[in-house]
Structure 1
């Protein structure tokens, strides 16, 4: 018996160690990574694809295995590994591609929405993604410029640096609160939504996956997730310098450098970006620009391959943004003709709104972020450890009456400290029918908020409106798995169980509050690969956004607000046809929300707070398409519809005064949610000569009708508007010249509108969108 057990042990050990783990990178002849290249062990069905940084990892059957690497438009290569565990593959363009004899189809965009590398055309989720080449072509420099390419996603800013408003599939973000999307950088979840204000540069992937993603990303992924992956450090030395200028006194300088500290062992990447902008919007009372900004960003990365199976990487990033604040528009005619203020047209036209505050608002944000990653490959299993910290400091000061009168001012100082620790165990066996991952997560968040105002009718005028510290501790367990029932049918299931503790120490109202919440977030999907080019899927997912505490109870909101949950059901399809030259994807979804969160500022008390709708729902659909008409021209379009409705508005207040009954809004549309979105565009890329290349990108983005208040009154509702953006580029050898324009028709629009009659103010106020912006940039790689 002992002999049989020993023989069985030796057999298992031999099988386990007969496999060789090979890691590597696929690049073109210029050193640029090739995402989506197919790497196959010759004579077997074992294969993988390279990720958005060109990296791959494959388990081969022996030391003398042969790898075949192929990619559309490039020559297929065969590589004998000869016992080597590290292989870098350089692909050459095929003669057919160079001669442009045939029209090349789409090779597909590689994403990581389910935390593993796969083509978005085979991912059973509603995903929009751009790899490095697409990011550069579209001129994506921030989340706002990418959101114009994604149906049912809207990104706005207002008030001050770092104050963002994201709406996804009918779920809006509350002011200063948690976003309805998880924000993930290089696989690390960043909880502070103010970081979405930073410039995006030197990127390998930007990806949005929609629908509740709590099972994969945890709390606040109630509407989806934004994945951003920076470019990896490289083994080959490369550098890039870019200088740019634009109207409004814009100046930008960027430097990127990457290479090996110890060849094949230790690599670095250093990048920095500086941008300054004088502004385009004018305060007519002060005769000064108000939307000025200055942005400095620096990032350093080090990656070390300590052994063939063990790698470590560290990243540190610092950025500081200074900008204007509180430059809201008011009606130039004024109420009763006395001075600016009163009712404001929600559909702006030239001359019908002005910025006339007597105080020049200013704001700033400083961020320090770092992470440390360890990856250990055991052959069939990979263990990952991700440790990160983040500190955000924000401050702002500006007018509060927004008039050319010395009445009220406002200010805020906020600091957020976050620590994350995550352990993941992932399956790496590509031959298995069952793909899985498991892990645990720990997070602490500490937010220190101080808000104050000035009322010049009192002596002394300054008073405090909020002074508190919120702390959140989260422990979570999660798991996700795919099982191939047949060669075409796959079932997926995942879960995440969050254990949250929330506390608040309020120094202004001298209160201490604490609450606990445990939330189970399941996800189930079924996908059917009807043919090589047709995928049909069905998903159910649950997400939640955590509740919290307001500074004080008023008639408009309670002392605390509840956790928001969403149950989402979705059907979708993904198709590729016409020799991979036409992509057409779509999905329809239905979400039921409980305790949906909304924000309001009570100007009777000068206290801001969050309240809940008892029940609401969203029904909608999305369509995305792209066609390659010739080797020189692509056309793309997308459309999204989100019918968001209040089912039961519930009641708020009553703790210290009157009750506000929001059930009178039952059946109305949820505010801050565009009813629809539509985008259409053209993209072109071709060689003029062997050394001269042209790139062009044109996009028309339309935002549908938006209700700014639950009342749905026409006087507080904006009609649809369209923004036209374009980018043209010429590349000569290592040089590139770009010309870009945003809002080329100089469309006036609002990013935020606040009807005064519902917050105790005589004024409607609004935050203007960015006017016509144009510029140019010159870069060189060496």
Structure 2
């Protein structure tokens, strides 16, 4: 393990290089050799970096025909990349968005999951794997990395080598395995905002050469970054606990069994989205934010989000726990290795949100607690021959989820959500005192109790063959056969403040009772073909053609309503995505292999793209799913690493991503075109931002950007070290810098002038002293120039024009001490 650390630090350092075990070296998720349960361990062999492939042979990563970025444990620690969200600063092609752990999405090259509130009825296009176990909840990506050895981000479809289908890519997390030599690690970090993080792990033999144990734990706490004047508390804090135990048994030289159990918990007061700005919509002016706020003599605590103040009046909670157990068996059998991975995972989610984003009692309860269990079984056999290598596998997965949600309106809801009629200019009062909008009792206490259930079953057979046509040419076909079945139930019972289930039209327009049972099932065959050719000793070219498939889905967040306020049942399911992917890459080394430059160009077309959309109904707080006709993403990626000496290493990675809805003619309209009376046939919709105007029933957003994707993104940095001796310890002092940049991106499913997030650059600094394999002490500053930026923006339901957001972390600083023994 120590040789791995030294090799990774020297060769990868702070770089994100393009390398993985796939095809020529299958990823850790495909199979693993008995000598190293996690595979893909890098080592230095002269001037080359070697991966131990899943087919039990060593390969230079420059010979592996796929685009993958690898981040080792040292880089994770040095850059403060404590979870997948922070990893995006090192990975230009990775995007991660989260307004709370449940409402999170990981995308690669702009693809993976719809942007917006999570809908449990669809699959993630980016798979998250921890020690070869698929995690269906993207919430797993919000937890702190625990005893992690390295993280691989595989870009592009990976379905022919991974158990669960992944059409956009995979995040493969590998933890440290048990050791047959006693070893231990401890780490303590402290910083401003009362930040404290402690990590520890210990490993050693229980029975020499037969049984080994590894235990690890971590604890993180940090004060919140936003002050809530209503509760006199800092919110959006960190409060994380992680525990992991791993038992390794090697009954024979050919067989090893790895039993893993883990438990992770978060219990922060989170997650506040706060006032950013307002924009004019087509709702009547007296029903937009300024007039509504004036009617209650209300003003936001601050109109500058970077004052980091809010007055939210609904309790905030983001409690979640996730964990489970897995058993992995690896058996050297014939020319290859047979691998079995059995796993059970659970996820419990206990939230409370303020979904009106104000200090007014509009929506007083918004909570959707959820419990999930998943079970998976994977069998693989990976073999190597003189001319042919292959991997074949079977995968079975079942998920059972139950959500019991509640939403309740408050005393201000009637005036805020209902139409008070025309009013005199400059007046915020009701024109007709008898209007429902002027009667707080109409919506006060209106409550929806939701019971939501989901069962998912997925079965697959997959495989990949590598044919060594010659010493320089390799052909690699892959195939996947997939079956998916989903069944769900959505029941929403709505009662008035007096407990009655008899609702008037205004009440049904805000919270509509619904009951439906969507179902989906389908078979699919997909595959890929890769050709790679060694142009010279230090140049390899490859090309990939892939036809992928992302399972269809069911809507489990409620359906849009028709003109009679009845759910539109035809929207209960969405069609599968059909993915055509093309990629060409070059992997090169020069300057006597002191420099590495890898390039990848890609073009991905998706038909029936699964998008999260909203409608114009006033009380709708959650989106639903729909299919966009066609989406295209194409671009170029580059990874450069230069190590002119042992003292200096530099890196730069960049991505240009051109992305658009090629055809989406019936999309939801952006806020500036929403909220007015729906234009009828023959009527011309009003110009954007016309109060009281006519809004189109839907909008053609063909040619517009996809949400959440920057056209330009980059990471860059390096480290310089000098030999030094402190208190008799011979080591090195060092200074490092890491930077990232991303250009403007859209933060709304349909691009809006109000919700574009401006581009920004972040810089992290560190300096310290270390003795290799013994200890490391360093100070760090993250967001060193205190850049003010937003992670995500959103709009308030009902076309009021209110835009809210999540400000990124301010400048943080502190120190970390690590020790190994």
Task: Pick the TM interval, shorter chain.
Answer: 0.7 to 0.9
1:600 Cα deviation from its structure 2 partner: 3.7
Gap change, CA 1:460 and 1:57, over 3 Å in 2: closer
Alignment of 1:441 onto 2:441: no
Match of 2:717 among 651, 670, 681: 681
Alignment of 1:140 onto 2:146: no
1:566-645 alignment to 2 at 5 Å? 566-601=579-614, 603-645=618-660
Gap change, CA 1:564 and 1:136, over 3 Å in 2: same
Cα distance in structure 1, aligned partners of 2:713 and 2:558: 37
- 8 Å CA contact 1:447–1:469 kept in 2: the answer is yes
- 8 Å CA contact 1:151–1:678 kept in 2: the answer is yes
Gap change, CA 1:56 and 1:220, over 3 Å in 2: closer
The 3-state SS of whatever aligns with 1:300 is: strand
The 3-state SS of whatever aligns with 1:194 is: helix
Name the structure where strand makes up a greater proportion of residues. 1
1:407-426 alignment to 2 at 5 Å? 407-409=362-364, 410-426=366-382
- 8 Å CA contact 1:707–1:717 kept in 2: the answer is yes
After the TM superposition, which of the residue ranges 216-225 and 664-673 deviates more from structure 2? Answer: 216-225
Cα distance in structure 2, aligned partners of 1:146 and 1:585: 20
Residue 268 of structure 1 aligns with which residue? 213
- 8 Å CA contact 2:95–2:110 kept in 1: the answer is no
- 8 Å CA contact 2:518–2:572 kept in 1: the answer is no
Residue 100 of structure 1 aligns with which residue? none
Residue 560 of structure 1 aligns with which residue? 573
Match of 2:780 among 727, 740, 744: 740
- 8 Å CA contact 1:36–1:51 kept in 2: the answer is no
Gap change, CA 1:285 and 1:119, over 3 Å in 2: farther
1:732 Cα deviation from its structure 2 partner: 4.1
Gap change, CA 1:205 and 1:52, over 3 Å in 2: farther
1:65-105 Cα shifts (integer Å, max 9, x gaps): xxxxx9758xxxxxxxxxxxxxxxxxxxxxxxxxxxxxx85
Q: Which runs of 5+ in 1 are unaligned?
A: 1-25, 38-47, 59-69, 74-103
Cα distance in structure 2, aligned partners of 1:476 and 1:332: 48
Cα distance in structure 2, aligned partners of 1:745 and 1:390: 41
Residue 545 of structure 2 aligns with which residue? 540
1:308-344 Cα shifts (integer Å, max 9, x gaps): 11111100000101123341111478625736789x9
Residue 311 of structure 2 aligns with which residue? 356
Gap change, CA 1:143 and 1:341, over 3 Å in 2: farther
- 8 Å CA contact 2:479–2:526 kept in 1: the answer is yes
1:279-322 Cα shifts (integer Å, max 9, x gaps): 22222444421111211100000111111111111000001011
Match of 2:748 among 700, 709, 715: 709
- 8 Å CA contact 2:185–2:820 kept in 1: the answer is yes
After the TM superposition, which of the residue ranges 624-633 and 553-562 deviates more from structure 2? Answer: 553-562
1:581 Cα deviation from its structure 2 partner: 0.8
Alignment of 1:503 onto 2:445: no
Gap change, CA 1:151 and 1:119, over 3 Å in 2: farther
- 8 Å CA contact 1:36–1:108 kept in 2: the answer is no
Match of 1:227 among 172, 176, 182: 172
Cα distance in structure 1, aligned partners of 2:592 and 2:79: 24
1:601 Cα deviation from its structure 2 partner: 4.9
Gap change, CA 1:536 and 1:155, over 3 Å in 2: same
Cα distance in structure 2, aligned partners of 1:699 and 1:115: 35
The 3-state SS of whatever aligns with 2:181 is: coil
- 8 Å CA contact 1:566–1:591 kept in 2: the answer is yes
Gap change, CA 1:27 and 1:56, over 3 Å in 2: farther
1:247-396 alignment to 2 at 5 Å? 247-331=192-276, 335-336=290-291, 338=294, 350=306, 354-396=309-351
Cα distance in structure 1, aligned partners of 2:8 and 2:400: 38
1:599-628 Cα shifts (integer Å, max 9, x gaps): 245553334322221111111111110111
The 3-state SS of whatever aligns with 1:406 is: coil
Gap change, CA 1:669 and 1:167, over 3 Å in 2: same
Cα distance in structure 2, aligned partners of 1:526 and 1:250: 49
Gap change, CA 1:763 and 1:193, over 3 Å in 2: same
1:21-41 Cα shifts (integer Å, max 9, x gaps): xxxxx754xx9686799xxxx
Cα distance in structure 1, aligned partners of 2:405 and 2:52: 41
Residue 670 of structure 1 aligns with which residue? 706
The 3-state SS of whatever aligns with 2:252 is: coil
1:123-138 alignment to 2 at 5 Å? 123-138=64-79
- 8 Å CA contact 2:544–2:583 kept in 1: the answer is yes
Cα distance in structure 2, aligned partners of 1:283 and 1:536: 55
Residue 165 of structure 1 aligns with which residue? 105
Residue 522 of structure 1 aligns with which residue? 527
1:661-720 Cα shifts (integer Å, max 9, x gaps): 655111111122222211211123453246222344311111111012355343321221
The 3-state SS of whatever aligns with 1:330 is: strand
Gap change, CA 1:726 and 1:329, over 3 Å in 2: same
Gap change, CA 1:647 and 1:375, over 3 Å in 2: same
Gap change, CA 1:235 and 1:126, over 3 Å in 2: same
Alignment of 1:765 onto 2:707: no
- 8 Å CA contact 1:723–1:744 kept in 2: the answer is yes
The 3-state SS of whatever aligns with 1:400 is: coil
Residue 152 of structure 1 aligns with which residue? 93
Gap change, CA 1:166 and 1:633, over 3 Å in 2: same
Cα distance in structure 2, aligned partners of 1:527 and 1:636: 25
Match of 1:406 among 357, 361, 371: 361
- 8 Å CA contact 2:26–2:161 kept in 1: the answer is no
Cα distance in structure 2, aligned partners of 1:27 and 1:327: 42
The 3-state SS of whatever aligns with 1:323 is: coil
The 3-state SS of whatever aligns with 2:369 is: strand
Q: Which runs of 5+ in 2 are unaligned?
A: 11-23, 36-41, 279-288, 412-440, 493-513, 563-567, 669-676, 681-695
